[in-house]
Amino acid sequence: MHKHAHLFIDGAWQPASGQGLAEVLNPATEQVIGQVPLGDERDVERAVMAARRAFPAWAGTPTKVRAGYIQALAEQLEVRGDEMAALITAELGMPVQWCRAIQVDGPIDGLRHYGELAALMDEVREVGNSLLLREPVGVCAFINPWNYPLHQLLGKLAPALAAGCTVVVKPSQETPLHAFLLAELIQSIGLPAGVFNLVSGPGAKVGEALARHPQVDMLSFTGSTGAGVRVAQAAAPSVKRVCLELGGKSPLLIGEDADLAAAVRHGVRDVMLNSGQTCTALTRMLLPASRYAEALELAVAEASSLRLGDPLDARSFLGPMCSAGQLRTVREYIHIGRQEGARLLCGGSDAPAEFERGYYQRPTLFADVDNRMRIAQEEIFGPVLCLIPYADEAQAVQIANDSPFGLSSGVWAGTAQRALNLARQLRAGQCFVNGAAFNYRAPFGGYKQSGNGREWGEEGLAEFVEVKAIQC
């Protein structure tokens, strides 16, 4: 049992002003595995003011020193990586065969990169009779999601520290335990008091208070589009900078000349990873009508081969959904898809008989999906894939872009150049060509209702920077 009775504020573990503790459940067993404080507006006030007091000194700290802290944190995470991965498996349900590499090692790589990028803050550029300088934006508030908790936290924290900002973090109530371990590591490296502050609690209290607080200069939020709109509205009166990483309904456009077996296999596995709880999941597979029947057979075979099971079993590809609420949402969408006339190929809304406990959902495929259906337009956030036929390339691009979202996309074609030509036509912040891997040195973020701003890479650093022009 991971019991946390205190919040991390101003460099120390302090009792919460809010009353009570929130229980954290293991989604595979439905058993309580931890407790965290229910912070409130008073805790937010203490944390924000601690960050405000710490800001001048931290902003004035040499970039080499800030880079040293970032590297020290990366080293501590490396040492305790197995512990962090086990904690995320327990609170999220991602199987152990994926958790260390995806939830921990990848983010560590991105964190280390910001140790290098911190030096960019020292650059001065001459433009005519002006000197252009970079300065940190100030006190930053982070409202984090539950699906890739450490990944998203470090994607905000690393550039903020590199830029010279101070931060207040609110983790998701579903998966907060990793953030408390991270706070312990931050304390162990001696990061100055007030630079990092952690306040757990409900979004209606803690998240709302952070968004509205006049001493918060920048707010970074990751979550659903609806919640992002509410956060932006709350932040608007104080005119703070807002960075939003929101929902997605990303297409995978498979060309007529593609290696169909490889493309379909990749597309099915991409959606089923983390039980479909991935904002960038390629949940709309666009297939040439001439090869549609063959593709459906390949997709069903691949989905049926993926093991759904205990996340502690190294053979499991999928574990449970993160929560009972998310499981209900996914099954409601499966019901909607059948009502809309989509053809259920495998999976469905029935509970798997082999699991007495846990929020398990079988991989589900829908064929004959019209892109106007709700299951093709709305983010389901579960292991549900829509397979959509197209007549020609022009229609494929039109279908791919016919979405309120634009977070990610994928293209699979017979040649890299042909795939690249298609990728340039897709309205999304990222495009993965022929199964390419995620890159922590490249910017991540979306078009349209998938949000604004970027995380990771130099563009991620820019979110935490003010540019000053000095005329000489």
Q: Phi/psi of residue 43, each to 5°?
A: -70, -40
* Other Cβ atoms within 10 Å of 5 Cβ, number: 11
- Cα separation of 141 and 217, whole Å? 8
Burial 281-312 (b: 16+ CB within 10 A, else e): bbbbbbbbeebeeebbebbbebbeebebbbbe
311 secondary structure, DSSP code: T
CA 103, 165, 192, 16 torsion-angle sign: negative
Active-site annotation holder among 245, 302, 455, 463: 245
Listed in sequence order, the residues at least 6 apart from 185 whose beta carbon sits closer than 8 Å to its beta carbon are 73, 76, 77, 80
Separation CA 322–CA 94 (nearest Å): 9
Q: Mind giving me the DSSP string for 398-424?
A: HHHH-SSEES--EEE-SSHHHHHHHHT
The residue type of 19 is Q
Beta pairing class for 284-288 and 251-254: parallel
Q: What is the spatial distance between Cα 81 and Cα 89, in angstroms, rounded to a whole number?
A: 12
Backbone angles phi, psi at 304, to 5 degrees: -70, -20
Catalytic-role residue among 140, 165, 243, 279: 279
The phi and psi torsions of 284 (rounded to 5 degrees) equal -120, 110
- 183 touches 153 (CB < 8 A): no
**245 catalytic residue (yes or no):** yes
| Residue 194: DSSP 8-state | T
Which positions are annotated as active-site residues? 245, 279
